[in-house]
Structure 1
């Protein structure tokens, strides 16, 4: 009855226990497919600068599956000084039949994992299967999850060179992956890119990270950090030489790397997964997967978490009468 309605709360600690990589990968794959088939709608993204950070909202719906909701998220760099996480995200699932809230979820780990899973799907579709050398820009939370998914899904990867913002090595970062691959710090970004089969950029998107001429034929690049107007990680003139793939074409041109080459053709990754498009890459093609993040990814992963929580009666139920 309406008077017995409740809102289920899933905090960060519980979310972490429920986010199994294979389940997240499957949910994110579903999101790409729903987007390609037109069964899922994504609404215009809100992404606005604030005095002390950046705030955004990504929302969407899958009417046939009764899925509706949004993620409110952003970046508050000042949190680091207080020992907190600068990225903050909260997801709300809503009953589309009534507009009533169903589940409130700590979205930080969801954002991290679904982005890592999306990067892995891009690698599997676009990177050369015989790729053995990877160059990674960044050592933060997103850099770590991208590398973890890459090593899990592409076992041929053997050597990883990483580039840090300050140009100094990170022993802790190296130790986290030393058992899985040969890790080394790269002081020369151009040389590291030129010597790699796969390049992953997971930075705040403050500017070009390397020279366009450093990218060799056959390289695949996964771009994570450009998600706001004015941001970029790739150098000018590179996109025009590549086969560009995106999660959402319009989003890429508004807030992703696509904003710097808006007339360059782009293929949505979901269309590769559904067979509506073919990668058709040759061994010498340079491929780029520009990830700006789909609301549907957050929602399909959130639904998976909600279903698991309901099945095992997990989380906190708060009375939410009509």
Structure 2
């Protein structure tokens, strides 16, 4: 007999704060780069023209935590006014193989990716950053903006460009009273003279070019997580100091697909003090976030720990 704790979206939202998730993500990065955590090969398969399914899994021996996230993208869900991205996280006892927890993975994916962008910007972006450019105003665009305003409260201007325009009204409502918000119609208009650029789109062709990016700018590239996806032109990547969550993933499913000559540093090694991070104030820095399983596992483990302390969740007897 085993007890499985189940946490819903609302449970997780009530349990986790953004700064707590930032710390969990930092631990995931350092564990990944030091090899104290194991990230297993990703499964990602196209089911149809409108559906993609994948599995990310990993193991943290120090926390006695094994887990996976089964997730994908079902475009037709939007017809029913439901979220296209769907994810479920399962935690497993590595000593017995029995499941210990079952969690909504949608919100965990959202907040851990937002925290990832915030961690990267806090490490690499100028402390004097004032202008933020955001391309992609959906769920990730919103949480990325929240994260950037959290670590760089000096930001006073946000310029945004919606991928399809459908998410733009919600984005405007969320930030119009917090900053000087400008809605743009072109990429060039959005990112010109920006101190920080965030890209969070499903693009399969590059749209950020060197001539648009000013010296000293930091770019969080959050969209490329599958073969064929790309947001940054290779001229930007060849110019920039590049930081990644996982080098293998970045080269196989991230922005560095086909760019073997580009040198990269894993963000975990910066957090561990093995690399100094940005070398020059005038350098363009890029953080390529492909999303690693250990981010999901550390965040889910934190949620379960908080749930046990507060008596939250539904218990299934297995």
For 1:134 and 1:115, the matched residues in 2 are separated by 18
Distance 1:8 1:281, change over 3 A: same
For 1:243 and 1:202, the matched residues in 2 are separated by 20
Distance 1:167 1:108, change over 3 A: closer
Equivalent in the alignment of 2:36: 39
Distance 1:166 1:106, change over 3 A: closer
> The residue matched to 1:90 in structure 2 has which SS?
strand
Equivalent in the alignment of 2:240: 242
Q: What is the deviation of 1:166?
A: 4.3
Equivalent in the alignment of 2:271: 273
Q: What is the deviation of 1:167?
A: 6.6
> The residue matched to 1:44 in structure 2 has which SS?
coil
Residues 247-258 of structure 1 correspond to what in structure 2 (within 5 A)? 247-258=245-256
Mapped contact 1:167–1:187 kept (Cα < 8 A): no
Equivalent in the alignment of 2:57: 59
Between 213-222 and 294-303, report the one with greater CA deviation: 213-222
Between 167-176 and 307-316, report the one with greater CA deviation: 167-176
For 1:278 and 1:122, the matched residues in 2 are separated by 13
Equivalent in the alignment of 1:222: 220
Structure 1 counterpart of 2:6, from 5, 9, 25: 9
Distance 1:312 1:166, change over 3 A: closer
1:41-74 per-residue CA deviation (whole Å, 9 max, x = no partner) reads: 1011111211131111111101122011111111
For 1:90 and 1:268, the matched residues in 2 are separated by 27
Q: Which consecutive residues of structure 2, in runs of 5 or more, have no partner in the other structure?
A: none
Instruction: Give RMSD over aligned pairs.
Output: 1.5
Total equivalences in the alignment: 317
For 1:166 and 1:86, the matched residues in 2 are separated by 14
For 1:167 and 1:142, the matched residues in 2 are separated by 14
Residues 1-322 of structure 1 correspond to what in structure 2 (within 5 A)? 3=1, 5-51=2-48, 52-166=50-164, 170-320=168-318
Between 114-123 and 207-216, report the one with greater CA deviation: 207-216
Q: What is the deviation of 1:217?
A: 1.4
Normalised to the residue count of structure 2, the TM-score between the two structures is: 0.96
Between 86-95 and 18-27, report the one with greater CA deviation: 18-27
For 1:108 and 1:167, the matched residues in 2 are separated by 22
For 1:313 and 1:166, the matched residues in 2 are separated by 41
Distance 1:167 1:213, change over 3 A: farther
For 1:101 and 1:174, the matched residues in 2 are separated by 41
Mapped contact 2:53–2:71 kept (Cα < 8 A): yes
Mapped contact 2:191–2:213 kept (Cα < 8 A): yes
For 1:78 and 1:212, the matched residues in 2 are separated by 36
1:111-131 per-residue CA deviation (whole Å, 9 max, x = no partner) reads: 000000010000011111111
Q: What is the deviation of 1:188?
A: 2.6
1:27-51 per-residue CA deviation (whole Å, 9 max, x = no partner) reads: 1111112122221110111112111
Normalised to the residue count of structure 1, the TM-score between the two structures is: 0.95
